[in-house]
Structure 1
Amino acid sequence: MFERFAIFYTATGPLADFGAAWLGWDNAAGRVVAHPDIAGIDVAQVTATPRKYGLHATMKAPFRLSADSGPARLQRAVADFATRHAAVDIGPLALGHDHGFVALRPVAPPAALHDLERAIVTELDAHRAPLTPADIARRRKAPLTRRQDQQMLDWGYPYIFDDFHLHLTLSGPLPDVQAARVVAGLQPLVAPLIAAPCTIDAVTLMGQDGGGMFHQIHRYPLTG
């Protein structure tokens, strides 16, 4: 059913409901959601790039399954991982425009968050098929550092480990003026949703369907 898989953090409750409407895709229910009307913002245009993922933070980027793995084996591995690792309190989130796109990001991400990301990337990597030459060429269209390029070759994705910065993406690439307008429009909607500190309390196994859309297969609470 799914062509690729990924490990994401996915929110629940009001924040998840907001993200589904804003992006236009509910990855838990696997359905299209109507965008909100926000004066002066073309929400469909702003969210076109990240829509297929739904509201999420990438922990292990999308990958094809290795020849030695399979959907059921991957599910068992993620379930086992979740029993061995604890939830991580990452503190408050802030809305902002950084690295070219609007997102919710931790104000002061703790070292434990980076430890969790490193564990997800490395411990589940046996289930990832090697990148194809086309995958590598596509990644190299972006300006990668030498370290990022090697991480891409070794682990399938360049922005990991010291280059990992957790974010819940809310837009595609935007120029500064447009991004400022989007942040201003979103701030009153988002503020009450991120008033409390955020906890990475689970990891979610995702599947990408033939149309490119990502679906939640299962959300595994971190109970270690």
Structure 2
Amino acid sequence: MRYAICFTPTPSDPLTLVAANWLGRNVYSGEIVEPPRIRGLGIHEVAFHTALPRRYGFHAVLKAPFRLADPTSEPALLRDLMRYAGTLTPFELPPLEIAKLGNVFGLVPSYPSTALNYLAAALVQEFDRFRAPLSEAEIDCSDPDGLSAPQFTNLHRWGCAHVMDEFRFQMLLTGPVGPADMSRMEQVLHDFFGPVLAEPVAVTNVALMMEEGSGGPFRVHSLHPMGKVSARKIA
């Protein structure tokens, strides 16, 4: 079983609901959602192109999936994450936009966010004590030969290549898309997600996500509100 610390909007956020409809699975309940009928894209094409992000659920990774180190435990992780989240200040992300990320599509901020980068780096460092060392198989899966020198260093120091200066916030919407389908998929995504991408995104919680079994889908285990309780009540 693995855990990850992530950002995902609240259960009732319109973006959460639209993403669940697109991916075919609700990241909170784990329930399967009927695939949408989209003009210009067949229902089986949607299911095929969303298979990879459907397993991981709608989220952006802040601390990559990890197995718990001995002698840590889930209750200790929950306690410390709840405590630490209370020390963080909520903030807003710039509006998200559809982006090509190599041969996949995802949502990224329309411009950089210093607060976001700080949050990701802080969580990676603060909770590294809960992370078991990577196995040789896990290192091989990260394609170490294809990493830059900073990414390779990150992989061995923090268990993930894409942290610190290499961190990029992204909420994946597809798996690999072939060149012939790129333009069509991009237009479909703009049409489907456009209505919920106009406003800034509130970052008021961090989510602990949990893998169901070994290699199973991820779902939200718990949301941890940022900021002191008194401040949240006033807000």
Residue 20 of structure 1 contacts residue 26 of structure 1 at CA under 8 Å; is this kept in 2? Answer: yes
Q: Which residue of 1 aligns with 2:226?
A: 222
Give the superposition deviation at 1:108.
0.7
Q: Which runs of 4+ in 1 moved over 3 A?
A: none
Q: Distance in 2 between matches of 1:138 and 1:169?
A: 19
Where 1:37 maps in the other structure, the secondary structure is: coil
Structure 1 residues 34-90: Cα deviation after superposition (integer angstroms, max 9, x where no partner): 110113321011111111111111111100000021110110111111101112222
Q: Does 1:6 align with 2:4?
A: yes
Give the superposition deviation at 1:142.
6.4
Report 1:49-88 matches (<5 A).
49-88=52-91
Residue 90 of structure 1 contacts residue 106 of structure 1 at CA under 8 Å; is this kept in 2? Answer: yes
Residue 144 of structure 2 contacts residue 152 of structure 2 at CA under 8 Å; is this kept in 1? Answer: no
Identity %: 34
Report 1:1-224 matches (<5 A).
3-12=1-10, 13-41=13-41, 42-140=45-143, 143-210=146-213, 212-223=216-227
Q: Distance in 2 between matches of 1:59 and 1:51?
A: 18
Q: Distance in 2 between matches of 1:10 and 1:17?
A: 11
Q: Distance in 2 between matches of 1:62 and 1:142?
A: 21
Where 1:95 maps in the other structure, the secondary structure is: strand
Aligned residues: 222
Residue 91 of structure 1 contacts residue 199 of structure 1 at CA under 8 Å; is this kept in 2? Answer: no
Code of the residue aligned with 2:38 in structure 1: it is I
Q: Distance in 2 between matches of 1:158 and 1:45?
A: 27
Q: Distance in 2 between matches of 1:179 and 1:57?
A: 22
Structure 1 residues 115-134: Cα deviation after superposition (integer angstroms, max 9, x where no partner): 11100100011000000111
Where 2:34 maps in the other structure, the secondary structure is: coil
Q: Which moved more, 1:36-45 or 1:3-12?
A: 36-45
Q: Distance in 2 between matches of 1:141 and 1:175?
A: 24
Where 1:136 maps in the other structure, the secondary structure is: helix
- Unaligned regions of 5+ residues in structure 1, if any? none
Give the superposition deviation at 1:191.
1.4
Residue 56 of structure 1 contacts residue 168 of structure 1 at CA under 8 Å; is this kept in 2? Answer: yes
Where 1:84 maps in the other structure, the secondary structure is: coil
What root-mean-square deviation, in Å, do the aligned CA atoms of Structure 1 and Structure 2 show?
Answer: 1.4
Q: Distance in 2 between matches of 1:11 and 1:34?
A: 20
* TM-score scaled by length of structure 2: 0.90
